Structure 1
Amino acid sequence: MPPTVPDHPTRDAGFGVYLHWPFCAAKCPYCDFNSHVRHAGVDEARFLAAFRAEMAHVAAEVPGREVTSIFLGGGTPSLMRPETVAGLLDAVAGHWPVAPNAEVTLEANPSSVEAGRFRGYRTAGVNRVSLGVQALDDASLKTLGRLHNAEEAFAAIRIAQATFARTSFDLIYARPGQGPGAWRAELTEAIDRAAEHLSLYQLTIEPGTPFFGLAAAGKLVTPDEDVSRALYDVTQEVCAAAGLPAYEISNHARPGAEARHNLLYWRYGEYAGIGPGAHGRLVTPEGRIGTVTERGPEAWLARVEASGHGIAETEHLAAPAQADEFLVMGLRLSEGIDPARYAALGGRAIDPARIAALVGDGLLTAKPDGRIAATAAGAPVLNALVAELAH
């Protein structure tokens, strides 16, 4: 008989499965994600077997959940054969019931998009694709170390939109030498092509990446704080005017086209993280836990083959930690958070006086239904808002 799982304040946010495929054709110079290049190729059958084994282990810990979303991220999942994707999705359905309207997203790079392969993904069960376009001009794509050019990106968008009911693509802004006028023009063109969803990220220089070394040597100069803020403001203005308002700090969509899997994260739902370096948040009979798997693909594979799973770390999350995670994630959303849920998670309420002070400063808004959310002025200083409310 499966273990009894207590009610939890975030159970109704949904249950998702994140599958991390860690391989890329090349490593981008700005990327600090868990992605790896294997020129000798990847034994997909062996990795698929390991994914299945780890999934079985996690499913035994959290049985009976209904899967509301699946996300194949990376790395570059579009380097997988459609048969491998089908095997992964079949394994999910073999361990948990999958909701009839479940969102199944696959990340793809334009350089690995082929119409036949995309049809294979659709047949496997993928119904949404997220393309890593990153820029719409060849010079910027070269600077960012991408393997595709602008025309290949446009072709990939066309193929994706002809194949899947739902599509999205990413762009990176605040690139070297980029000003508000150029970004406004690029973003306007992107919206014309995007249709329903865009993820728009400011370029950040992460330690350990080639860009970090170039920036430290003065060979890579990104926009300063004032220009970056102007670029952010242009992003909000152009997207809102086009009917794609921000529903999360970096994500814009037409109403109803929001990424459901990512909403599950931001609403602090429950999700299984499967594959090398994947993170999970699960509700067990002992409470909510965080899981992290072995980061290196081969080390993860060896661990799974030896012990049935690649989980390297399991953290039992205390009530205050859950409340703080809920706050950090939820305030990224335009819908904000319910303070009553924060109190239910953490065992203490947010100080009403702090909420009132931030509302008075114009950084927070109190909605008629009792939710609180960052304002347009508060969103760019979200870390400070979170620190003040969690104090």
Structure 2
Amino acid sequence: MNKKHFRKQFLLLTLAGSVGAGTLVGCSGQQTAEEETEVTATTEQNQMDIKQEPFGKTKEGEETTLYTLTNEKGMQVQITDYGATITSVLTPDREGKMADVVLGFDSLAGYQSPEYLKSGPYFGAIVGRYGNRIAKGKFTIDGQEYKLATNNGVNHLHGGVKGFDKVVWEAEPMPGQNAVRFKYVSPDGEEGYPGTLTSTVTYTLTNDNEIKIDYEATTDKATPVNLTNHSYFNLAPGQAKDALGHVLTINADKYTVVDETLIPTGELRDVKGTVMDFNTPQAIGARVKQVEGGGYDHNYVLSETGDGLKKAATVYEPTSGRVMEVLTTEPGIQFYSGNFLDGTITGAGGNKYEKHYGFALETQHFPDSPNQPKFPSTILEPGETYKSTTVYKFSTRDQQ
């Protein structure tokens, strides 16, 4: 029996067990019609929570699966084991109309098309081992230099040529928690990184319309780790040609200044009085043309510190009324305004992804931290466990 068939059988047995347990509830030992209806409704909800269906074959012939989570309010999230990628997020506007608010594709073919691979936008994927850039693809640990692929000009980006976004993760549906846990074991030396790294990413859809992402990783050699999800959002899909009308707040007083190749110089600069300041709500497009490089692609240093969840950003889209809050345990967040989308990619629903059609808010440690001793460390040692949590919470706001 293959692993996927085993998981499906386990899910069916788990659901059957929940029905059997439900029939034992009650003082008389017999079910009333009301109790039976309640048990049936609960079972139907459990069955609705995690749906599995084929998503396509990779070019290497590996089968992939699409997992669908649905909560009691009707919000729906779809994730594939290819890259542990969020492919769709259906959430209501202020009128209750559902729409898909992330950029993605209906099948694996979209993620493997020549147009997509050439532009490399990483829609919805987990990127790693190291999200963001490492200068010149080099770093040193304990006196030993490691060399990585330089797949972004002279620099290393998002884990290399075949990062975590381009592998098939092992998936474990968790129906009682309305969650799916993905696991990937990256062997020692993969893409030039030291150590065998075992990573798990758990996506949970709550009944408060939250997508909770829990990351964990362990290693047998010291190695840099910086995992993040690279979803692009548009809270009014199909209603505007771009996302520049979205109103953004980022709770950060400083950002990491970068050079012409987008590598941090080491300076943490105040945002106050500059086009980088989103401490008060600003439309993404209000000052985007004033940003060097054609738009935002910057790491913000979050003002609130500590190990717990903290609110990093809030986005409000006036046309739809949708609101997205981002909470994280990470020290930084990368705001990217979709500068390199160019209309060559057509995604789900026939939407053509033109420049600035979507934006990303990637929670993270800072870019190039392995080469920046003043930045928070990203080196994971044997015996330690990397842990990180990010929440994307969706709601609506009345028209103002």
The TM-score, its normalising length taken from structure 1, stands at 0.26
Structure ranking higher in strand proportion: 2
Structure ranking higher in helix proportion: 1
